[in-house]
Amino acid sequence: MNIIFLGPPGAGKGTQASLLAGLYDIPHISTGDIFRDNIKRGTPIGKEVKLIIDAGALVPDDLTISLVKERLKREDCLKGYLLDGFPRNLYQAESLESVAPPDMAVNVDIDQDILVSRLAGRRACPNCAGTYHVSAVPSELCPVCGVKLTVRPDDVPETIRKRLEVYNSQTAPLIAFYGQLGKLLTIDGNQSIEKVCGDIVEGLRKE
Ligand code: ADP
Ligand code: AMP
C-alpha cells in the first residue's frame, strides 16, 4: 500500500505516518527527516539545504525528487510506503505518479488556528526523530531514547507563517489533483491522535 499525506505543517502527518508504519509494517519516509538528518551529519546536501529549510522555503525539486526516488528503491518499500512531506507541489506529484504512484492521499484537514499552537509546542528528538507535543510530554527528555528534546529551528513564528503560505500556494492544490484521480481520503485532523489514526485506518479499509 502506497500512501502519501497532505495537510499543512503541524496537521499531524508525521505523527500519523509513524503510527501507521507500525500498524502496516511499511516504512515512514519523511523528506523533512531526511533533510534534517543530512544537516545533523553535516553532509554536502545538509549544507545545501540548511538555510532554505530554516527560512521555511522548499528545497529545489530536482534534489528532493532524486532523494525520494533513491529511497523508494530500497527493499523495505516493496510492500509499500508512507510518504510524509512529499509531494509538496504539482511537479513532485507528477514525478511520483511516474515512478511509484500512491494508492491514496490522506488529507489531514485541520483548523488554521490550531496549527500555530501545535507547531509552537512541538518538540523533536534529534536522535530518533520522535515528535511530541509539550502539553503531552512536558519532560525535556525523549520518552523513547532519553535524549534532550529540541525545538525545530523552523518552528518559530516568522518561519511558521512562511511555511503556511508555501503550503497554501504550492501544496494545497494537490488536494484537487488527487481528488480528480479518485485517490483522496480527507480526515478530520482536529481530533485526538488516536481518533485521527482510527479514522484513517477505517477510511483506508473502505477504499
Ligand atoms: P506535521 O508532520 O503535519 O508537521 P506533526 O505530526 O509533527 O505534524 O504534529 C505537530 C505537533 O502536533 C506535534 O507536537 C504533535 O505531537 C502534535 N499533534 C499531532 N497530532 C495531534 C493531535 N491529533 N492532537 C494533538 N496534538 C497533535
Ligand atoms: P517537514 O518536516 O515536512 O515539515 O519539512 C521541513 C522542511 O523541509 C520544509 O519546510 C522544506 O524546507 C523541506 N522539505 C521537506 N519536504 C520537502 C519537499 N517535498 N520539497 C521541498 N522541500 C521539502
Average predicted confidence (pLDDT) for the chain = 96
* Edge-to-edge strands, sheet with 2-6: 28-30, 81-84, 2-6, 104-109, 184-188
Q: Phi first, then psi: give them for residue 123, nearest 5 degrees.
A: -125, 135
**41 a catalytic residue:** no
- Answer whether 16 contacts ligand 2 (Cβ < 6 A): no
Q: What is the pLDDT of residue 78?
A: 96
110-168 pLDDT per residue, tens: 998 899 899 999 999 988 889 999 999 999 999 999 999 999 999 999 999 999 999 99
Q: What is the pLDDT of residue 147?
A: 94
H helix count then E strand count, the chain? 9, 7
- Answer whether 59 contacts ligand 2 (Cβ < 6 A): yes
- Answer whether 15 contacts ligand 2 (Cβ < 6 A): no
Q: Using CA atoms, how far apart are residues 186 and 192, in angstroms rounded to an integer?
A: 16
Q: What is the pLDDT of residue 113?
A: 87
Give how far the C-alpha of residue 54 lies from the chain's centroid of Cα atoms, to the nearest Å: 16
**88 a catalytic residue:** yes
pTM: 0.96
Q: Three cell numbers at 29?
A: 519516509
- Per-residue pLDDT, averaged over 11-27, amounts to 97
- Per the listing, cell 485541520 goes with 110
User: How does residue 207 score in pLDDT terms, banded at 50, 70 and 90?
Assistant: confident
Bridge partner residues of 150 (DSSP): 124
